[in-house]
Amino acid sequence: MTSILTNVPAMAALQTLRSINTNLQDTQSRVSSGYRVGKASDNAAYWSIATTMRSDNGALSAVADALGLGAAKVDTAYTAMDSAIEVVQNIKNKLVTAKEGSVDKRDVQEEISQLQQQLESVAESASFSGQNWMIASDGASASVVSSFVRTSTGGVAVNSTSYRFDASSQGNVLFGSDAFGVVNTSSGILGSQIGFGTSNYSVYSLNIEGMTSGQVDKALTLVESALQVMTTAASQLGSLSTRIDLQTSFVSALGDTIDAGVGKLVDANMEEESSKLTALQTQQQLAIQSLSIANSSAQNILSLFK
């Protein structure tokens, strides 16, 4: 039966066209955005996971920046310690020269005094971002952000690596400081004093004028001991720098892995979407043609009344 009031074929063709248009719109959205899951309604579970991991990756990026800042602090401290070691070695060489009986110790002391002033300059210059790891009070510490962690329960934490300062003669700072950060030249590796008869000297305050040969030998022992401690401190800084470099590489690799994992969840397969787009466009054209045929069928009834 043919009816002029209800065109069932046209209704079916229209429903098919609407379905095709909806699918075509979804495919065009994926092609243009590159996302298979671009909003929660596409896939709530995958969208939630991807959003959380993107947030964590942003935190990892901040950790990488913090690691770079920490690395700069450590590198600055290491450079200062290495430079100070070279200066103290020169002081050691001057003391060896002073052992020669014909050498005027006052001339040697003038050179040593210049080197001692250089040591203080090196220590005071070893500052980065307001922190100086070569001048610190005993027991103080500094920390470097090392990682961002999400626990199995969903909690988050930022871990850090601490570096504790020791202002003793066997410590890891060139000079100590008071509570206000002012240099205390009577503490630290270079400031800690030992007895020379009735006088006390440190590497920084050493004065060989009037010293006997035996006292110069004791001064050599003092300087050599300081060199060994400074070498150990430089090794500690080098180890910390290596750890930071390793953590920086890990954070970078972890960020790339997270990006790849998120991509697998939400990125569109462009080859597949391209094929779908072409097929849906063809289906759309056929559906429009079918709707046109269905709509024109009612006009054929007019021929029955001629």
Place 198 in a pLDDT band, splitting at 50, 70 and 90.
Answer: confident
* Range in 156-160, 163-167, 243-247 with the lowest mean pLDDT: 156-160
Place 4 in a pLDDT band, splitting at 50, 70 and 90.
Answer: low
Place 164 in a pLDDT band, splitting at 50, 70 and 90.
Answer: very high
The pLDDT of residue 298 is 66
Place 203 in a pLDDT band, splitting at 50, 70 and 90.
Answer: very high
**CATH H-level, domain 77-234: superfamily:** f41 fragment of flagellin, N-terminal domain (1.20.1330.10)
Among candidate residues 10, 4, 6, 8, the one with its CA nearest the CA of residue 294: 10
CB-CB neighbours of 98 under 10 Å: 23
**pLDDT tens-digit profile of 77-132?**
999 999 999 999 999 999 999 988 788 999 999 999 999 999 999 999 999 988 99
Position 301 pLDDT exceeds 80:
no
Q: 188-202: b or e for each residue (b if 16 or more CB lie within 10 Å)? A: bbbbbbeebeeeebb
**pLDDT tens-digit profile of 17-66?**
888 888 888 788 778 878 888 888 888 999 999 998 888 888 888 888 88
Residues 37, 40, 46, 47, CA torsion sign: positive
- CB-CB contact of 144 with 123 (8 Å): no
